[in-house]
Amino acid sequence: MTPDRVDLAIIGAGPAGMAAAALAAELGLDTVLIDEQDSPGGQIYRGIERAPENTPLGADYLAGKSLAASLRASGAAYLPATTIWHIDPDGTLSLISAGASRTLRAHRILIATGAIERPVPIPGWTLPGVMTAGAAQIMLKTADLVPAGRAVLAGQGPLLWLVAAQLIRAGAPPAAILETTPHRNYHAAARLLPATLWPGRRALRKGLALIREVRRAGIPIRREVRGLRAIGRATGDKSVERVVWDGGEIAADLLLLHEGVIPNTQISLALGLDHRWDAAQLCWRPAVDEWGATGVPTIAIAGDGGGIAGAAAASLSGRLAALDAAAFLDKLDPAERDRRARPLRAALKRQLAIRPFLDALYRPAPAVLVPADDIVACRCEEVTVAQIRRAARLGAQGPNQAKAFTRCGMGPCQGRICGPIVSAVMAETLGKPIAEIGAYRPRAPYKPITLGALAGLGAE
């Protein structure tokens, strides 16, 4: 059993969490890794332990195997299928697993909850059969399932091309790729190319190889697609039937959307940690130092949850956070921490070299952040962009007030999906920068829990 107060509790078993847990345990920290899934990997390496060597998911995916193996071989306690529903900055975590809740105390908490896909609020995005590209990838990673019928991939970003290539290898090529990258992005990215070419060469080569692989498969590709919308069947389940854009349309049984990923800030926002609006990546990111430490001494953040940098960078930042946790708990001399961090920082710098280029190339078009008035922004409570604008004009000064005006963000997802949209729409309506408008302040329970689980906690 895990003791009453552990040295380090890590939330999320993706690359950052797995790497941090293995190193922290090696450094002698009593470490617990808590994860909502029933096997390690996070979303990027989801299902990694069961993946065959010839998986259509490719070599970068298989790189997760060694991370999962080093976690298993480490002395870190691993709590799978366990959800965190509250964290107190004093180090108390409230967990729920198998329907029962309990608490755990830690001297330090490392949030490694990774990224989520940016919401893509086009007309028809709530129709059955409209999913994210990542969702299709999860079907392949966890269950070896591929789209049946015509799957259309639409949006932009490295993951769009990766999913296309993986579906081709899996024997289920997409019917078309509709790339939404605005023309001006090419100019912005081109300016960064000279500085990126050498330090970012490996990532560039990988990306170009993916695009070539998709082209060679003969998949129709439309560029600079604008006015994307999904049209549903008139009857029955109303599921998607066609995808339409300015100047074209295609029949589709499945529409897979992707406009990049953003940090999963649900827990860091709920904790009231300081967050900054990242104008390059167009998302909120928690303010952290070079070790991932936040303004609250007991809490640190590693991986994409602290800013999008990818899986390889996430495992490096996880290790940096583990070193810092060990120094924080007097298990490692600060000078030794710094010495051991040096090669990690050098590797991290190499991983980050491609980012400014990717951020410029795949910067979402304005309509992704601020959609048209008739589009549903809050999927749970079915609140439209127009209703949020009206709330702003009636005096709501930020997303938290808009909640009270409209119920946006008050459904089961607790603003995870509509948060970025509501902040951007209010900023535009009120003519203020997003940084000033702010983000939702999510509240515990971070995930819905049953009254039975809560009652059981009191009976402990």
Partner 1 sequence: MFRKRPDSAAPTVPVSVEGRDIRVPAGASAAAAMLLAGFAAIRETGVTGTPRGPYCLVGVCFDCFAEINGIPNRQSCMVRVAPGMAIRRQHGRRAVEVNDA
Nearest approach, Cβ of 58 to partner 1 (angstroms)?
14
Return phi, psi of residue 258, to 5°. -160, 125
CA dihedral (85, 381, 119, 149) in degrees, to 10, reads 110
| Shorter beta-carbon distance to partner 1: residue 44 or 396 | 44
* DSSP characters over 397-453: -SHHHHHHHH-TT-STTTTTTTHHHHHHHHHHHHT--HHHH------S-SS---HHH
Question: Which residues on neighbouring strands pair with residue 78, listed in sequence order?
Answer: 33
Site residues for partner 1 per CB under 8 A: 36, 38, 43, 47, 50, 52, 56, 116-117, 125-126, 128-132, 134-135, 138-140, 142-149, 170-172, 237-240, 253-254, 264, 379-382, 411-413, 416-417, 447-448
| Shorter beta-carbon distance to partner 1: residue 132 or 180 | 132
| Shorter beta-carbon distance to partner 1: residue 156 or 264 | 264
Encode 247-279: b = buried (16+ Cβ within 10 Å), e = exposed: eeebebebbbbbbbbbbbbbbbbbbebebebbe
Query: For residue 452, with 0-12 CB atoms within 10 Å meaning exposed, 13-18 middle and 19 or more buried, which class applies?
Result: exposed
d(CA 436, CA 335): 39
| Shorter beta-carbon distance to partner 1: residue 195 or 450 | 450
Question: For residue 297, is the peptide bond before it cis, meaning its omega torsion is within 30 degrees of 0?
Answer: no
Work out whether strand 376-378 and strand 130-132 pair parallel, antiparallel, or are unpaired: unpaired
| Shorter beta-carbon distance to partner 1: residue 169 or 441 | 169
Q: What is the DSSP letter of 181?
A: -
Nearest approach, Cβ of 144 to partner 1 (angstroms)?
4
CA dihedral (425, 429, 432, 433) in degrees, to 10, reads 20
* Structural Rg of the chain based on CA atoms: 22
Nearest approach, Cβ of 236 to partner 1 (angstroms)?
8
363 alpha-carbon distance from chain centroid:
16
Nearest approach, Cβ of 149 to partner 1 (angstroms)?
7
Nearest approach, Cβ of 83 to partner 1 (angstroms)?
9
Nearest approach, Cβ of 134 to partner 1 (angstroms)?
7
Nearest approach, Cβ of 171 to partner 1 (angstroms)?
4
Angle between helices 201-216 and 183-197 (to 10 degrees): 130
Nearest approach, Cβ of 386 to partner 1 (angstroms)?
16
Nearest Cα to 373, choosing from 431, 429, 414, 434? 429
| Shorter beta-carbon distance to partner 1: residue 115 or 225 | 115
Nearest approach, Cβ of 320 to partner 1 (angstroms)?
26
| Shorter beta-carbon distance to partner 1: residue 147 or 438 | 147
Please, which residues have CB within 8 angstroms of residue 410's CB and are 6 or more apart in sequence? 380, 381, 403
| Shorter beta-carbon distance to partner 1: residue 337 or 416 | 416
| Shorter beta-carbon distance to partner 1: residue 295 or 412 | 412
